[in-house]
Structure 1
Amino acid sequence: MAHTVMPSSQELPRVTSEDLKRARDRLRVAQARRHRWGKLSLLWLLIGPGVLVMLGENDAPSMLSYAATGATYGPGFFLPFILVTFLMAFIVQEMTVRLAAATHRGHAELIFERFGPFWGAFALVDLALGNLMTLVTEFIGIRAGLGFFGVPPVLAVLLALAVIALVVLTRRYWTWERIGLALATFNLVFIPVAVLAHPDPGQLLAAFLTWQPVPRWDQTTLLLLLADIGATVTPWMLFFQQSASVDKGVTGQDIAHGRLDTALGALLAAVAGIATAIATSPLFAHHVNASSFAGADFARALLPYVGRVGASLFALGIVEAGLLAAITIASSSAYAFGEVTRQPHSLNRSWREGWPFYCVLLVAAGLAAAVVLIPNAPLEFIVLIVNVYAVLSMPPALVFLTVLVNDREIMGEQANGSLANVLTVTVTLLICLAGLVYGIATVFPGLLPS
């Protein structure tokens, strides 16, 4: 009589809290697929990384860039232009959804596996430095936004750091994602500010239907044009959305919803960016020079035109933009660190199982917060360096992404087709060219027309 030999406990893989939590999430997805009326429920369950990455990219510096655009040129060329930049962002970020579904690997992990340890380490260091400097700018925005309400800088930064810690230490991806989505909706507060600015509907309609030419070609116009393009896609977005999609448990069946999630995020982010430009257009109409304005400066300048409520919403929007970006950017650093070093890297891990992941996330945010609180720290110089560093880091990040998504060995049927490659290469070249010109213009402003 044959006896079945049961494997010993040492041969069985250990079931972690990450496995159990993700299995529960996937069970709800499977149940929604079987339910006759489960389409809306399925959409609710599967959205998340795309909306978070797009609205996370609407960070404090980006919203201030849109505000400067509206204050400098009013409603016109830049309104439909902002919409086009987020279409470009969708083309790039959609590829990270397919990469996650096809490989179940994070972006840093794939670079490490497909390009070798040198490029894996390069990607990690490159991302870590860029993220740290960008995180500093987010805390600058948070401090400026709360400063409008009289909150002292130290208290503003500590409050933001506490919120980040509380959200992260839920130790549950689903909870973290839902809190992030709730926070992301506040990016839309710029819409009521735009309404309070009483824009001319005919002028707005004309801006979109006729797409007026660039107002003038000078140094300010070119810098704003390039800044808006360069802010469309940044390296942390590639790492974050792919890793978050893997942490969420996205599969090949979910790609259509992943695309929808990304498209919805791009649309909402574009609407918020356009609303910000419209909200500050009264400054253009009244010839207010906003070239040196920061977050609180814009809010104060808008008081005569949108009232106390509108100005307060604008300031809160800058705070939200910085806070959501800080959460997502710090998470992308932690994901990449865990992937390259083979440490547990999931927001579903318990503290005991995933303490390296949580430590990297919180230390990254803490270091950035500490820099902002240093007396007489060269914060304006840091903002400048962030822009220049983004120029240097985007080309290799986009090249890695394009090569990976064309690798049929890992992508299978989800690899790029001919049309996708045309769009990908076009967007990649445009972003790289815009970033390169922006970097040159920033370092050598004398080369631009005055």
Structure 2
Amino acid sequence: GVRMGIVSGKGLADLIREKVGIKITFLMMIALLAANMGNILAEFSGIAVSSGIFGVPKFIALPVAALFVWLLVVKGNYKSVEKVFLMASALYLTYIVAGYLSQPNWALAIHNSIIPQITPSTAYITMIIGLVGTTIAPWMMFYIQSSVVEKGISLKNLKYSKLDAVFGAIVVNVVAFFIVIACAATIHANGIQVNNVADVSKALVPLAGQYASILFAFGFLNASLFAASILPLSTAYYVCESLGFEAGVSKGFREAPIFHGLYLGLILLAVIVIMIPNAPLLTILYLSQVANGLLLPFLLILMLLIINDRKIMGDYVNSKLFNYVAGATVIIVMSLSILLIVTLILPSL
């Protein structure tokens, strides 16, 4: 994504439209928009739940968060927005501390990380697809490419942007590892039933201590607020790019009215839905990530077609090794989707 953005000077949705035409691009954008709306709802539900842990009701927390998220883009330029995102990213370290405070059995954790317990059931496969969908989410591909284009990064700085992307991928997985550790060592080990993130935070108090509980809740609030900023932004980017409208944080409302209007509309819609009493927040969060995982292989195939097109990339096409690794990734993700369909069909036969 970084390489395509810097070499072509275009966003991913723009390149997909040029590669496969407006009809296929439009259908794909509709599917991605639906999945992204679910993701945005999930993030605002995260704000509602985590702020509730600190005693702030959602009818106060959600409008304040929405205003912050909107002002961040409307009143800032890309440099200022990126600084806020970097600050938010640094706060993810609280999850690492929470994981350490949970006092896990490190030998067991490492063993089960290397040799997982695989269960060939519909629930297990669906969860795996959800985990893939939240780790390699389609919206990330669009955002990272649009961001390097807007920053105007030159080819001479390509190696630094690639390093940035690789470092980010490592950090996010380290953080995810400690989230799993914190929950597995306390909640799972003690057989505690949880229905939402508030239950997770509360359950950590007697098992890992007050500080672990507070840090976990704070980390979740930060993660939700961070993603609630970036997800509508990514969505606005790729919708505008795919339809040929002006897009960019550094552009004003008059320069990019569709971009800013869509960004605001997605935020307001999410707040309204999450305000509905007894909205199935955990179900929304879970299913939106599964949708990401199901859509991912189609997007990766299009990215591979573009990155190997010398008319677009010149000498910056993939190496054979890169194609093997990327191809294997597509096959694995597609296999999971096929397995899910098979497990859903078999019981009815």
Please, what TM-score do these two structures have when normalized by structure 1?
0.71
SS of the residue corresponding to residue 256 of structure 2 reads: helix
What are the Cα deviations for residues 231-286 of structure 1, in whole angstroms up to 9, with x where unaligned? 33121111111111101112222221111111111111111111111112332574
1:121 and 2:26 are equivalent in the alignment: yes
Letter in 2 for 1:280: C
1:175 and 2:77 are equivalent in the alignment: no
In structure 2, C-alpha distance between the alignment counterparts of 1:111 and 1:225, rounded to whole Å: 27
Residue 309 (structure 1) aligns with: 211
* Contact kept? 1:335, 1:346, Cα under 8 Å: yes
1:353 to partner: Cα distance: 2.0
What are the Cα deviations for residues 178-199 of structure 1, in whole angstroms up to 9, with x where unaligned? 1111011112211111121123
Letter in 2 for 1:269: V
Q: Cα distance 1:196–1:165, how it changes in 2: closer, same or farther (>3 A)? A: same
Q: Which moved more, 1:166-175 or 1:239-248?
A: 166-175
- Aligned-residue identity in percent: 27
1:130 and 2:130 are equivalent in the alignment: no
Q: Cα distance 1:446–1:294, how it changes in 2: closer, same or farther (>3 A)? A: farther
Residue 289 (structure 1) aligns with: 192
* Contact kept? 1:239, 1:332, Cα under 8 Å: yes
Residue 160 (structure 1) aligns with: 65
Residue 18 (structure 1) aligns with: none
1:267 and 2:142 are equivalent in the alignment: no
Residue 8 (structure 2) aligns with: 103
Residue 33 (structure 1) aligns with: none
- Consecutive unaligned residues of structure 2, counting only runs of 5 or more, are none
Q: Cα distance 1:281–1:105, how it changes in 2: closer, same or farther (>3 A)? A: same
1:356 and 2:258 are equivalent in the alignment: yes
Letter in 1 for 2:78: Y
Letter in 1 for 2:98: V
1:303 to partner: Cα distance: 0.4
Q: Cα distance 1:439–1:272, how it changes in 2: closer, same or farther (>3 A)? A: farther
In structure 2, C-alpha distance between the alignment counterparts of 1:431 and 1:253, rounded to whole Å: 33
Residue 389 (structure 1) aligns with: 291
In structure 2, C-alpha distance between the alignment counterparts of 1:403 and 1:353, rounded to whole Å: 32
Larger radius of gyration: 1
1:217 to partner: Cα distance: 5.8
* Contact kept? 1:144, 1:295, Cα under 8 Å: yes
What are the Cα deviations for residues 105-151 of structure 1, in whole angstroms up to 9, with x where unaligned? 00111111121111222232222222111111111122111111122
SS of the residue corresponding to residue 165 of structure 1 reads: helix
SS of the residue corresponding to residue 352 of structure 1 reads: coil
Letter in 2 for 1:170: K
* Contact kept? 1:108, 1:336, Cα under 8 Å: yes
Instruction: Give the number of aligned pairs.
Output: 348
SS of the residue corresponding to residue 54 of structure 2 reads: coil
Please, what TM-score do these two structures have when normalized by structure 2?
0.91
1:341 and 2:246 are equivalent in the alignment: no
- Consecutive unaligned residues of structure 1, counting only runs of 5 or more, are 1-95
Letter in 1 for 2:257: W
The match for 1:437 among 339, 342, 345 is: 339
Q: Which moved more, 1:412-421 or 1:278-287?
A: 278-287
Letter in 2 for 1:153: K
* Contact kept? 1:230, 1:431, Cα under 8 Å: no
1:224 to partner: Cα distance: 4.0
* Contact kept? 2:93, 2:175, Cα under 8 Å: yes
1:159 to partner: Cα distance: 2.2
Residue 182 (structure 2) aligns with: 279
In structure 2, C-alpha distance between the alignment counterparts of 1:194 and 1:378, rounded to whole Å: 28
Residue 229 (structure 1) aligns with: 132
The match for 1:419 among 294, 317, 321 is: 321
* Contact kept? 1:391, 1:439, Cα under 8 Å: no
